[in-house]
Amino acid sequence: MVADIPFEPVLEIVGVGVGAMSGALAAVRKQFDVFGIFVLGWAAGLGGGLLRDVLIGAVPPVGISDWRLITTALVGALVMYFFHPRLQRARRFIVVLDAGALAVFTVVGTVKGLEYGTTPVAAVIVGVITGAGGGVLRDLLTGEVPVVLHDRQLYAVPALLGAAATTALWFAGRPTPLVLSVVVVGVFALRVASLRFQLHAPGPWRGRT
Protein backbone atom coordinates (compact mmCIF):
# COMPACT_ATOMS: atom_id res chain seq x y z
CA MET A 1 0.00 0.00 0.00
CA VAL A 2 1.04 3.55 -0.67
CA ALA A 3 0.14 5.03 2.67
CA ASP A 4 0.81 8.65 1.78
CA ILE A 5 -1.84 9.22 -0.88
CA PRO A 6 -4.57 10.92 1.19
CA PHE A 7 -7.56 8.65 1.66
CA GLU A 8 -5.73 5.92 -0.29
CA PRO A 9 -6.78 3.14 2.12
CA VAL A 10 -10.38 4.34 1.90
CA LEU A 11 -10.24 4.45 -1.89
CA GLU A 12 -8.65 1.01 -2.06
CA ILE A 13 -11.44 -0.42 0.11
CA VAL A 14 -14.00 1.18 -2.21
CA GLY A 15 -12.17 -0.24 -5.21
CA VAL A 16 -12.04 -3.77 -3.88
CA GLY A 17 -15.68 -3.63 -2.85
CA VAL A 18 -16.90 -2.32 -6.19
CA GLY A 19 -14.75 -4.79 -8.10
CA ALA A 20 -16.14 -7.61 -5.97
CA MET A 21 -19.68 -6.46 -6.72
CA SER A 22 -19.00 -6.58 -10.46
CA GLY A 23 -17.62 -10.10 -10.10
CA ALA A 24 -20.51 -11.29 -7.95
CA LEU A 25 -23.03 -9.81 -10.40
CA ALA A 26 -21.39 -11.67 -13.30
CA ALA A 27 -21.63 -14.86 -11.21
CA VAL A 28 -25.30 -14.24 -10.37
CA ARG A 29 -26.09 -13.78 -14.06
CA LYS A 30 -24.42 -17.10 -14.86
CA GLN A 31 -26.44 -18.78 -12.08
CA PHE A 32 -23.32 -19.73 -10.15
CA ASP A 33 -23.84 -21.15 -6.68
CA VAL A 34 -23.08 -19.16 -3.55
CA PHE A 35 -19.47 -20.42 -3.40
CA GLY A 36 -18.91 -19.39 -7.01
CA ILE A 37 -20.39 -15.96 -6.31
CA PHE A 38 -17.91 -15.39 -3.49
CA VAL A 39 -15.00 -16.65 -5.60
CA LEU A 40 -15.94 -14.30 -8.42
CA GLY A 41 -16.19 -11.42 -5.96
CA TRP A 42 -12.73 -12.23 -4.68
CA ALA A 43 -11.26 -12.65 -8.18
CA ALA A 44 -12.73 -9.44 -9.57
CA GLY A 45 -11.96 -7.35 -6.49
CA LEU A 46 -8.47 -8.63 -5.77
CA GLY A 47 -7.35 -10.34 -8.98
CA GLY A 48 -5.62 -7.31 -10.48
CA GLY A 49 -3.45 -6.84 -7.40
CA LEU A 50 -2.83 -10.58 -7.25
CA LEU A 51 -1.46 -10.66 -10.80
CA ARG A 52 0.64 -7.57 -10.01
CA ASP A 53 2.14 -9.15 -6.89
CA VAL A 54 2.99 -12.42 -8.65
CA LEU A 55 4.66 -10.49 -11.49
CA ILE A 56 6.80 -8.31 -9.22
CA GLY A 57 7.57 -11.11 -6.75
CA ALA A 58 5.58 -9.69 -3.83
CA VAL A 59 4.41 -13.09 -2.58
CA PRO A 60 2.18 -14.09 -0.97
CA PRO A 61 0.01 -11.48 -2.75
CA VAL A 62 -2.18 -9.16 -0.67
CA GLY A 63 -5.14 -10.79 -2.44
CA ILE A 64 -4.65 -13.93 -0.36
CA SER A 65 -2.96 -12.54 2.75
CA ASP A 66 -4.58 -9.22 3.71
CA TRP A 67 -7.70 -10.14 5.68
CA ARG A 68 -9.09 -6.58 5.56
CA LEU A 69 -9.12 -6.47 1.76
CA ILE A 70 -10.41 -10.05 1.54
CA THR A 71 -13.21 -9.27 3.99
CA THR A 72 -14.07 -6.24 1.89
CA ALA A 73 -14.32 -8.38 -1.23
CA LEU A 74 -16.52 -10.94 0.53
CA VAL A 75 -18.80 -8.22 1.90
CA GLY A 76 -19.08 -6.74 -1.59
CA ALA A 77 -20.05 -10.14 -2.97
CA LEU A 78 -22.51 -10.69 -0.11
CA VAL A 79 -24.22 -7.37 -0.77
CA MET A 80 -24.60 -8.27 -4.43
CA TYR A 81 -25.80 -11.75 -3.52
CA PHE A 82 -28.77 -10.38 -1.60
CA PHE A 83 -29.48 -7.13 -3.39
CA HIS A 84 -28.75 -7.90 -7.04
CA PRO A 85 -32.34 -7.32 -8.16
CA ARG A 86 -32.11 -3.74 -6.91
CA LEU A 87 -28.45 -3.07 -7.62
CA GLN A 88 -28.70 -3.99 -11.27
CA ARG A 89 -30.93 -0.96 -11.64
CA ALA A 90 -28.28 1.26 -10.02
CA ARG A 91 -25.95 0.38 -12.89
CA ARG A 92 -24.88 3.93 -13.66
CA PHE A 93 -23.88 4.52 -10.04
CA ILE A 94 -21.78 1.36 -10.01
CA VAL A 95 -20.05 2.28 -13.26
CA VAL A 96 -18.94 5.56 -11.71
CA LEU A 97 -17.69 3.81 -8.57
CA ASP A 98 -15.83 1.39 -10.82
CA ALA A 99 -14.13 4.30 -12.57
CA GLY A 100 -12.89 5.40 -9.15
CA ALA A 101 -11.59 1.91 -8.45
CA LEU A 102 -9.80 1.79 -11.80
CA ALA A 103 -8.11 5.11 -11.05
CA VAL A 104 -6.98 4.13 -7.56
CA PHE A 105 -5.80 0.64 -8.49
CA THR A 106 -3.81 1.93 -11.43
CA VAL A 107 -1.89 4.57 -9.50
CA VAL A 108 -1.38 2.40 -6.41
CA GLY A 109 -0.30 -0.56 -8.55
CA THR A 110 2.16 1.51 -10.54
CA VAL A 111 3.73 2.92 -7.38
CA LYS A 112 4.00 -0.55 -5.84
CA GLY A 113 5.79 -1.77 -8.97
CA LEU A 114 8.20 1.16 -8.80
CA GLU A 115 8.81 0.55 -5.10
CA TYR A 116 9.84 -3.01 -6.02
CA GLY A 117 12.44 -1.60 -8.37
CA THR A 118 10.87 -2.49 -11.72
CA THR A 119 11.85 -0.82 -14.98
CA PRO A 120 9.65 2.10 -16.09
CA VAL A 121 7.92 0.04 -18.77
CA ALA A 122 7.23 -2.72 -16.25
CA ALA A 123 5.72 -0.21 -13.82
CA VAL A 124 3.29 1.01 -16.49
CA ILE A 125 2.27 -2.53 -17.45
CA VAL A 126 1.91 -3.50 -13.80
CA GLY A 127 -0.26 -0.45 -13.16
CA VAL A 128 -2.62 -1.27 -16.02
CA ILE A 129 -2.78 -4.92 -14.93
CA THR A 130 -3.63 -3.83 -11.38
CA GLY A 131 -6.43 -1.64 -12.71
CA ALA A 132 -7.89 -3.93 -15.35
CA GLY A 133 -6.73 -7.44 -14.33
CA GLY A 134 -9.57 -8.18 -11.93
CA GLY A 135 -12.12 -7.71 -14.69
CA VAL A 136 -10.14 -9.97 -17.01
CA LEU A 137 -10.09 -12.76 -14.41
CA ARG A 138 -13.82 -12.25 -13.80
CA ASP A 139 -14.55 -12.64 -17.50
CA LEU A 140 -12.32 -15.71 -17.97
CA LEU A 141 -13.85 -17.48 -14.94
CA THR A 142 -17.38 -16.87 -16.26
CA GLY A 143 -16.50 -18.09 -19.75
CA GLU A 144 -16.55 -14.68 -21.42
CA VAL A 145 -14.02 -12.99 -23.66
CA PRO A 146 -12.50 -10.19 -21.52
CA VAL A 147 -14.73 -7.17 -22.12
CA VAL A 148 -11.83 -4.73 -21.75
CA LEU A 149 -10.25 -6.16 -24.91
CA HIS A 150 -13.14 -5.78 -27.30
CA ASP A 151 -15.88 -3.41 -26.17
CA ARG A 152 -14.17 -0.30 -27.56
CA GLN A 153 -14.83 1.68 -24.42
CA LEU A 154 -11.96 3.75 -23.12
CA TYR A 155 -11.32 1.65 -20.03
CA ALA A 156 -7.69 0.62 -20.16
CA VAL A 157 -6.57 3.73 -22.01
CA PRO A 158 -7.13 6.10 -19.05
CA ALA A 159 -5.31 3.53 -16.89
CA LEU A 160 -2.43 3.44 -19.37
CA LEU A 161 -2.12 7.23 -19.34
CA GLY A 162 -2.36 7.32 -15.56
CA ALA A 163 0.30 4.66 -15.11
CA ALA A 164 2.59 6.45 -17.56
CA ALA A 165 2.05 9.79 -15.76
CA THR A 166 2.75 8.18 -12.39
CA THR A 167 5.94 6.59 -13.68
CA ALA A 168 7.15 9.81 -15.30
CA LEU A 169 6.50 11.74 -12.07
CA TRP A 170 8.32 9.06 -10.07
CA PHE A 171 11.48 9.39 -12.12
CA ALA A 172 11.21 13.18 -12.09
CA GLY A 173 11.52 13.05 -8.27
CA ARG A 174 9.29 11.14 -5.90
CA PRO A 175 5.78 12.60 -6.32
CA THR A 176 3.95 14.05 -3.34
CA PRO A 177 0.64 12.54 -2.20
CA LEU A 178 -1.11 15.58 -3.62
CA VAL A 179 0.39 15.03 -7.07
CA LEU A 180 -0.55 11.34 -7.05
CA SER A 181 -4.07 12.29 -6.03
CA VAL A 182 -4.28 14.58 -9.03
CA VAL A 183 -3.34 11.64 -11.28
CA VAL A 184 -6.05 9.53 -9.65
CA VAL A 185 -8.60 12.26 -10.31
CA GLY A 186 -7.35 12.59 -13.89
CA VAL A 187 -7.80 8.89 -14.65
CA PHE A 188 -11.23 8.98 -13.05
CA ALA A 189 -12.26 12.09 -15.02
CA LEU A 190 -11.02 10.64 -18.31
CA ARG A 191 -12.92 7.42 -17.73
CA VAL A 192 -16.14 9.23 -16.79
CA ALA A 193 -15.79 11.66 -19.70
CA SER A 194 -15.37 8.77 -22.12
CA LEU A 195 -18.64 7.35 -20.84
CA ARG A 196 -20.43 10.70 -20.87
CA PHE A 197 -19.34 11.63 -24.39
CA GLN A 198 -19.30 8.07 -25.70
CA LEU A 199 -15.69 8.15 -26.82
CA HIS A 200 -14.56 4.89 -28.38
CA ALA A 201 -11.37 3.11 -29.31
CA PRO A 202 -11.26 2.09 -32.97
CA GLY A 203 -11.61 -1.52 -34.09
CA PRO A 204 -9.43 -3.26 -36.68
CA TRP A 205 -8.17 -1.04 -39.48
CA ARG A 206 -10.24 -1.33 -42.64
CA GLY A 207 -8.16 0.86 -44.97
CA ARG A 208 -7.25 -0.14 -48.49
CA THR A 209 -3.81 -1.59 -47.70
Shortest distance, position 180 Cβ to a second copy, whole Å: 21
Q: For 83-110, give one letter per residue: b (16+ CB within 10 A) or e.
A: ebeebeeeeeebeebbbbbbbbbbbbbb
Tell me if 90 contacts a second copy by CB under 8 A.
no
Q: Which of 6, 7, 10, 83 binds a second copy (CB under 8 A)?
A: 83
CA distance 25 to 40: 9
Tell me if 27 contacts a second copy by CB under 8 A.
yes
Shortest distance, position 143 Cβ to a second copy, whole Å: 4
Give the nearer residue to a second copy in terms of CB position, either 159 or 169: 159
Tell me if 197 contacts a second copy by CB under 8 A.
no
- Of 7-15, 55-63, 100-108, 184-192, which part binds a second copy (CB under 8 A)? 55-63
By CB neighbour count within 10 A (0-12 exposed, 13-18 middle, 19+ buried), where does 147 fall? Answer: middle
Q: Which residues bind a second copy (CB under 8 A)?
A: 27-28, 30-37, 39-40, 54-57, 59-61, 64-67, 70, 81-86, 113, 116, 118-122, 125-126, 136, 140-146, 148-152, 156-157, 160, 200-205, 207, 209
